[in-house]
Amino acid sequence: MFHKSRLIWAAAFAFAGAASLHAMAQPETIQGTGGPITIQPITHAALQLKYGNQVITVDPTAMGGDYNALPKADIILITDIHGDHLDPATITKASKTGTTVVIPGAASAQVKGGTVIANGESKTINGIAIEAVPMYNLQRGPSAGQLFHTKGRGNGYVVTVGGKRFYFAGDTECIPEMKALKNIDVAFVPMNLPYTMPPNEAAECVKAFKPKIVYPYHYMGSDLKQFADALNGSGVEVRIRDWYAK
């Protein structure tokens, strides 16, 4: 299943890397305790947070983004083993001396020297609290009886920085653990079929845990208006940004 899934991902996203090698959406900021937190969409499931002198990069891959121009990361978070979340060469480009690369155990073979954290575990790195939370499929997979993402293999993350709680969902359907999240300030939620979930399902999950702000990401080919419309009147601010800028 692993090799088949990797081939599916490679075919589905090959053109995205070619089209968006250096293009990125504009960064934006939210106010944290003691200063602004900059959110920089990169591409697909990749983004970067900057708070003071701390830089956190999520899922750097070869799909796009100029990692020579972006600030080097103090912390890199890897959610899964698939090529649209993990590329060893791009991790090297995004790193500097002393960078900590946080990974699920399944990624150990690809990321030598990574800091392994499992679902339900927490670590504090450079004063930043990082909690690994589940991400998985409930029903969708490449064939009957198989799932694209099995429970426990990958990590979503809840990161507390600047007094704000950020949730990076990774590749997941609307799982009970997502619905049970509390006090999330900013959430990044995937929505694309067949690998994660459709926009209406993602919206139902967001309604359950009620982040203050939600960004759709990992959404290639999805109808984001459907997601935004479903959350109208929910009290959740939906921010649609271009993760596939050209």
pLDDT digits 0-9 by tens, 166-215: 999 999 999 999 999 999 999 999 999 999 999 999 999 999 999 999 99
* Contact call for residues 207 and 233 (beta carbons, < 8 A): no
53, exposed or middle or buried, with CB in 10 Å at 0-12, 13-18, 19+?
A: exposed
Question: Tell me, what's the pLDDT at 53?
Answer: 94
The predicted-structure confidence for 32-45, as pLDDT tens digits, reads as follows 998 999 999 999 99
* Contact call for residues 152 and 191 (beta carbons, < 8 A): no
Alpha carbons 186 and 183: distance in angstroms, whole number: 9
Structure tokens at 32: 């944290």
Question: Tell me, what's the pLDDT at 2?
Answer: 42
- Residue 245: pLDDT band (50, 70, 90) is confident
- Residue 4: pLDDT band (50, 70, 90) is very low
Question: Tell me, what's the pLDDT at 11?
Answer: 44
- Would you say residue 118 has pLDDT above 90? yes
DSSP 107-147: GTTTSTT-EE--TT-EEEETTEEEEEE----SS--SSTT--
Residue reference for tokens 């969409």: 41
- Alpha-helix residue ranges (DSSP H) falling in 1-158: 2-19, 88-94
Choice between 138 and 11, residue whose per-residue pLDDT is larger: 138
- Residue 20: pLDDT band (50, 70, 90) is very low
Mean pLDDT, residues 4-24 taken together: 49
Contacts of 212 (CB under 8 A, 6+ apart): 184, 185, 186, 236, 237
Q: What is the pTM of this model?
A: 0.92
Structural domains of the chain ordered from first start: 2-238 (3.60.15.10)
